[in-house]
């Protein structure tokens, strides 16, 4: 294997730093300088050295500014900022040495493997926002935030490079537009106009990075850098949702707000953006392994279908045998299609209980899986529909379903007189309905939706109740802490209730239903609270100079604020009622509480649930009216 011959700059620079650094190869170069991979001799560690080109280092003002801002960047100490080990000048060479990162740039990641998943992109952008917020707090503005300056380490860490360096070189007036090609695509309008930039400029650039990471495209492109800069100043960025429909609304709105031309309309700071992305990540956090396995495989009965065949076959043989009764055969058949599936599902519920999860976790788990599925399907739709989808879509999903039903049922009725019509109609009708179901399954995960309703509803509660009854209490671990507060309290209350004597449970027989209703009410209020917070955040961005519109805007904001406060109180009441029930059950177990006091608290809890129910019903009626 042959290596390219080193150029004159490489040889001269190596001579100047001999004994301190051993240069290995050039990593890249641009208008801002040349980057080499080297080894620091004394500590025997790999470093990346960025060298200010000697042609620019001869300018005293540019040389001094490079050194001053490089030393400022070297003072930054943050987990998501590439550490600068040394800033030096040796003769005509001015350079700084920083940690060498094993990994790839965000540009390489997107170009090689396509847009990032929303959860991954949110994590990357959040970590970059953290780094920028820290730097802004130290008085350092990056001014060159772009995917090339965001490194993704092999171990998953996100690091930001080149704080303040590129802007020093560009700001000195020594570079033409051709020399900074690439940067204009990530430049804020105020920077493109040559105005003084602040932290909000980095926010705009980070919004462009997010747009690129989530869609794989750039909002502004052109053949020349001047064309791109003109678009940055004059053209609004397209909404992220228009090019990446699978991105969750909250994340897309955060990116869109960063791309506001008016810097006052952008988020209040990079720390605020980081908080927004953190909340989005928290909502979409990865499910624990046991729940993922259960939702994808354990919740279904399809992979245990072979267990039915012996019962069905035995039932058929017994029913047909002249020496046994038909009733016994049918009994075996019925047991095969009811008791066997129930036993299998109860065993799987026991497995989940032993892993530390309970029925209350399933609604959250199925919802997370369906959200992830919708995200993936939206990404697939960007590639265009398949030939099968185009055929079904041209005829219409509703047409297939209704046509299939007619072609199946009507010929079957006619088939009483004309058997051939029944056979043909049944075949064609079943083909039509099968096609409709295939198209529906390609649009939605109908299978997961069905099993989610089964497990999260009454049947699931019954299966878990039976599973807990046949599982020794010592085999059940303590509840995990990842779940929402209302679910954790509800599950604790149900466990305490199940361990009460049978007579006491009979006296408090409606407690599980009250607890379950409070859990659902709290979750509804939590979801509504998030919607109102988003609506208020949107309203803050849309203030019109027109007095009449501004007055109407203020009334809407006041109404939203009042409802938010009410929803917060409803959520607090529901959680407090659950906490009270749990505490009274604990007192009952300790012998310091009474059934009468718990019955009184259940009555109050029902009133709270009724108030929340009326609140939800009022919202539903208002939405229908709108």
3-state helix, strand, coil in the chain (%, to 5): 65, 10, 25
Helix (H) or strand (E) segment spanning residue 508: none
Mean pLDDT for the stretch of residues 145-154: 90
How, if at all, do strands 158-160 and 150-153 pair? antiparallel
pLDDT at 437 over 70: no
- Give the pair of three-digit tokens for residue 134: 């820290």
pLDDT at 402 over 60: no
CATH code matching the domain that covers 103-283, chosen among 3.30.360.10, 1.10.510.10, 3.40.50.300, 1.10.357.10: 1.10.510.10
Domain edges within the chain: 8-99, 103-283, 289-464, 487-625
Residue 406: band (very low, low, confident or very high) from pLDDT cuts 50, 70, 90: very low
pLDDT at 211 over 90: yes
Task: Report the half-sphere exposure of 593 (CA within 13 A, side-chain side).
Answer: 20
- Give the pair of three-digit tokens for residue 544: 């019109």
Helices and strands, counts by H and E, the chain = 26, 8
> Minimal CA–CA distance to 259: which of 313, 191, 205?
205
Instruction: Return the CATH fold of 8-99.
Output: Phosphorylase Kinase; domain 1 (3.30.200)
- Give the pair of three-digit tokens for residue 160: 């930001």
Dihedral Cα 130, 136, 140, 144, nearest 10 deg: 60
pLDDT in tens, 487-510: 777 777 887 888 888 888 888 888
pLDDT at 191 over 80: yes
DSSP code at position 501: -
pTM of the model: 0.53
- Give the pair of three-digit tokens for residue 113: 């493997």
- Give the pair of three-digit tokens for residue 168: 């020093």
> Minimal CA–CA distance to 480: which of 574, 355, 350?
355
Backbone angles phi, psi at 287, to 5 degrees: -70, 150
Known catalytic residues are 144
The 10 Å Cβ neighbour count of residue 240 is 24
Residue 543: band (very low, low, confident or very high) from pLDDT cuts 50, 70, 90: low
Q: How much is the mean pLDDT over the chain? A: 76
- Give the pair of three-digit tokens for residue 566: 């009410």
SS3 per-residue string spanning 437-493: HHHHHHHCCHHHHHHHHHHHCHHHHHHHHHHHHCCCHHHCCCCCCCCCHHHHHHHHH
SS3 per-residue string spanning 346-358: HHHHHHHHHCCCC
CA-to-CA dists, residue 216 to 17, 108, 110, 225, 384, angstroms? 41, 11, 6, 20, 16
Can you tell me the distance from the alpha carbon of 105 to that of 150, in angstroms, rounded to the nearest whole number? 6
pLDDT in tens, 473-485: 655 554 444 456 7
CB 150, CB 159: distance < 8 Å = yes
Can you tell me the distance from the alpha carbon of 205 to that of 190, in angstroms, rounded to the nearest whole number? 11
Q: What percent of the chain has pLDDT over 90?
A: 12
pLDDT in tens, 306-360: 454 454 555 455 445 555 555 555 555 565 556 667 777 888 888 877 776 777 7
């Amino acid at each position: 294997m042959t290596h390219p011959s080193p150029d004159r700059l490489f040889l001269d620079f190596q001579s100047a730093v001999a004994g301190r650094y051993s240069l290995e190869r050039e990593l890249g170069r641009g208008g801002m300088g040349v980057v080499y991979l080297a080894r620091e001799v004394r500590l025997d560690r790999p470093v990346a050295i960025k060298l200010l080109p000697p042609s620019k280092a001869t300018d005293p003002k540019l040389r001094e500014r490079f050194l001053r801002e490089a030393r400022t960047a070297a003072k930054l100490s943050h987990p998501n900022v590439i550490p600068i080990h040394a800033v030096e000048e040796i003769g005509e060479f001015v350079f700084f040495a920083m940690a060498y990162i094993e990994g790839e740039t965000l540009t390489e990641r997107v170009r090689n493997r396509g847009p990032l998943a929303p959860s991954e992109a949110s994590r990357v952008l959040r970590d970059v926002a953290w780094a920028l917020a820290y730097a802004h707090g130290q008085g350092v503005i990056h001014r060159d935030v772009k995917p090339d300056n965001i490194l993704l380490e092999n171990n998953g860490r996100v690091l930001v490079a080149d704080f303040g360096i590129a802007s020093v070189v560009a700001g000195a007036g020594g570079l033409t537009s051709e020399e900074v090609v690439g940067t204009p695509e990530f430049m804020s309008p105020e920077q493109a106009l040559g105005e003084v930039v602040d932290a909000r400029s980095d926010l705009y650039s980070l919004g462009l990075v997010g747009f690129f990471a989530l869609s794989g495209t750039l909002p502004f492109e052109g053949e020349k850098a001047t064309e791109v800069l003109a678009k940055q100043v004059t053209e609004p960025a397209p909404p992220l949702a228009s090019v990446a429909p699978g991105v969750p609304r909250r994340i897309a709105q955060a990116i869109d707000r960063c791309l506001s031309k008016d810097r006052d309309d952008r988020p209040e700071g990079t720390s605020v953006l980081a908080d927004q992305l953190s909340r989005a990540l928290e909502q979409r956090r990865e499910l624990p392994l046991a729940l993922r396995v259960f939702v994808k495989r354990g919740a279904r009965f399809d992979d245990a279908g072979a267990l039915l065949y012996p019962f069905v076959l035995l039932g058929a043989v017994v029913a047909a045998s002249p020496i046994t009764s038909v009733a016994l055969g049918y009994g075996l058949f019925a047991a095969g299609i009811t008791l066997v599936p129930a036993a299998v599902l109860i065993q799987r519920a026991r497995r989940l209980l032993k892993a530390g999860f309970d029925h209350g976790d399933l609604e959250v788990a199925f919802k997370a899986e369906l959200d992830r599925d919708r995200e993936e399907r939206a990404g697939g739709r960007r590639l265009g529909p398949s030939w099968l989808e185009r055929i079904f879509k041209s005829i219409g999903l509703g047409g297939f379903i209704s046509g299939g039903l007619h072609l199946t049922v009507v010929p079957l009725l006619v088939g009483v007189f004309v058997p051939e019509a029944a056979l043909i109609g049944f075949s064609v009708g079943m083909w039509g309905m099968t096609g409709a179901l295939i198209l529906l399954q390609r649009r939605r995960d109908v299978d997961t939706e069905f099993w989610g309703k089964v497990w999260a509803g009454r049947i699931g509660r019954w299966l878990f109740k039976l599973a807990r009854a046949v599982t020794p209490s010592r085999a059940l671990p303590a509840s995990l802490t990842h779940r929402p507060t209302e679910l954790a309290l509800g599950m604790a209350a149900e466990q305490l209730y199940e361990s009460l004597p049978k007579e006491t449970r009979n006296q408090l027989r409606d407690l599980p239903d009250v607890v379950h209703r409070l859990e659902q009410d709290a979750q509804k209020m939590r979801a509504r609270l998030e919607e109102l917070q988003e609506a208020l955040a949107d309203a803050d961005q849309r203030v019109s100079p027109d007095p009449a519109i501004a007055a109407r805007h203020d009334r809407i904001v006041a109404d939203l604020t009042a409802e938010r406060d009410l929803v917060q109180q409803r959520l607090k009441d529901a959680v407090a009622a659950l906490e009270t029930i749990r505490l009274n059950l604990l007192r009952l177990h300790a012998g310091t509480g009474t059934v009468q006091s718990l019955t009184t608290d259940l009555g109050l809890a029902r009133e709270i649930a009724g108030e929340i129910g009326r609140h939800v019903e009022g919202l539903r009626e208002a939405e229908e009216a709108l």
